[in-house]
Structure 1
Amino acid sequence: MKLSNIASYAQDRDWHSLSKEFHTKSFLQYYMYNFSILGRPIIQMPMDIIATQELIWKVKPDLIIETGIAHGGSLVMSASMLAQIDYCEAVEAGTTLDPRASRRRVLGIDIDIRAHNRALIEAHPMSHLIEMIEGPSTSAEVVAQVQEFAKEYKRVMICLDSNHAHDHVLAELEAYAPLTSVGSYCCVFDTVVEDLPPEISAGKPWAKGNSPKTAVWEYMRRLKDGSSKGLHSEVMVFAVDKEIENKLIMTNAPDGYLQRVA
């Protein structure tokens, strides 16, 4: 019944119109700035927070790479999910859990990690699962660092949520989407910029036509024609998981939940 309900939501135009109206108001009123995870602010719509934790549980990654750190709420949420996975696996195996022995990690990248945010993230109980790199996420140096770090991990999930301009997001996709494990996800946030009125991006370096969604479309086109490939020149296939956005109705990431299927 749940799957048929979700499938039917895609056709409910009235509901989607209400969602768009609420979503527009949410941006104009900074609604997504009102929430926190385990004490750290997270700048996301509640629906996407729920979707992200569902995906982490589904994939059970041993590494989550996130671009865009801000106050660190997303890093803390991801780390807390990895800790819960460790705990549940220990319970199922009948073993004793040593939290600090976990190999799972969240790797956050940001061009500017403010000193007070870094201090609070590093003081958080989840910090033993968090690593951070300060620098431009698309620079050759940072990309090389991340790729080297990721070599030690088998199941990798990606979340892109930094500069939302087309060229920047496309460069992040080229750099980090190939690190996504088959069956895992590369989540591109704020693709909704393409769908909402222009006033929500007034004064920003991104807008309709220059957004994360246009970057996703271009990256998917490049994958299809073979001009973009994996780390070892292998053919990669990503698919937009429409079931997620159909279920959420209102999401910051329409067309942005990308599952690597090959």
Structure 2
Amino acid sequence: MDPIKQFSAERMAAIAGYGTDEAFTALSSQWRQMSMDKRYVYNFDWMGRPIIQYPQDIQAMQELVWATKPDLIIETGIAHGGSIVLSASLLAMLDMCDAIEKGVTIDPKVSNRKVIGIDIDIRKHNRKAIEEHPMASRIQLIEGSSIAKDVVDQVQQAAQGYERVMVCLDSMHTHDHVLAELEAYAPLVTSGCYCVVFDTFVEDLPRDFFNDRPWNVGDNPKTAVRAYLADHPEFSVNGEIDGKLLVTVAPEGFLLRA
């Protein structure tokens, strides 16, 4: 067998085995819960900006962007800006690789690839840091509720003309809000690309784990995803991603559009 194919087959076999390894999956769930209690996800930066994600999910995003090569990434939820800087840097990576392959020079300031970041409250110090970041030329910030009609209209207008679009939802994590985001933005995802819904793991944690937040078991991104998928067969959960990450905030949240 070709050694590359052999390595891939061995890796897929190992990942498939995780799903039947009850001790391993239980330990992963236990670690995830304890790590959330200790605010572990707040410990990391991407290119100098705090990114509130597990390293596993950061890696998953890199793999998805490389595999699907989007021109536009739409993200709801900005916080400190680490996630949109991550997305912008991954798009810069695609441009660099295109330039090497074609033997040309690409001016990053005129690249077509960009990120649209939406947040109801972009704090002044975070906006300043993002706008002064080396990736700023690839980022468009929109302040307002991600489900407000004027914001949705603005994003839909900005998305016109892009051939490959990816969406990441990571703002308010209640069922109704996420379902409204899915209705607004998932249709913008192009065939072969992803809508990634973060914090679906709320459904798998003990009730009232986030006792200072409006989301809970039965009212969270995972319940919204399940409701959306029931009426939208063009999307499906890529369970292989869940299966290899094990520790992720987005179980059942990696939605591939056919």
State TM-score, norm by structure 1: 0.94
Residue 242 of structure 2 corresponds to: 245
Residue 57 of structure 1 corresponds to: 66
SS at match of 1:154: coil
Asked if the contact 2:120/2:145 (under 8 Å) is kept, the reply is yes
Residue 7 of structure 1 corresponds to: 16
Map 1:1-262; keep pairs closer than 5 Å: 1-224=10-233, 237-261=234-258
User: In structure 2, what residue type is equivalent to 1:148?
Assistant: Q
In structure 1, runs of 5+ residues without a counterpart are: 225-236
**Distance in 1 between the 2:16 and 2:30 partners?**
22
Q: Deviations along 1:16-39, whole A, 9 cap, x unmatched?
A: 111111111111111000001000
SS at match of 2:236: strand
Asked if the contact 1:27/1:200 (under 8 Å) is kept, the reply is no
- The alignment covers a number of residue pairs equal to 249
Cα shift at 1:122: 0.3
Residue 228 of structure 1 corresponds to: none
**Distance in 1 between the 2:177 and 2:96 partners?**
37
User: In structure 1, what residue type is equivalent to 2:138?
Assistant: L
Q: Deviations along 1:36-56, whole A, 9 cap, x unmatched?
A: 100000001111010011101
Cα shift at 1:189: 0.3
CA RMSD, Structure 1 to Structure 2 (Å) = 0.8
User: In structure 2, what residue type is equivalent to 1:55?
Assistant: L
Q: Deviations along 1:155-211, whole A, 9 cap, x unmatched?
A: 000000000000000000000000000000000000000001124211210000001
SS at match of 1:200: coil
**Distance in 1 between the 2:68 and 2:156 partners?**
20
Asked if the contact 1:68/1:160 (under 8 Å) is kept, the reply is yes
Identity of aligned residues (%): 56
Cα shift at 1:140: 0.7
Cα shift at 1:119: 0.2
Asked if the contact 1:110/1:133 (under 8 Å) is kept, the reply is yes
Asked if the contact 1:24/1:200 (under 8 Å) is kept, the reply is no
State TM-score, norm by structure 2: 0.95
Cα shift at 1:9: 1.1
Asked if the contact 1:105/1:131 (under 8 Å) is kept, the reply is yes
SS at match of 1:201: coil
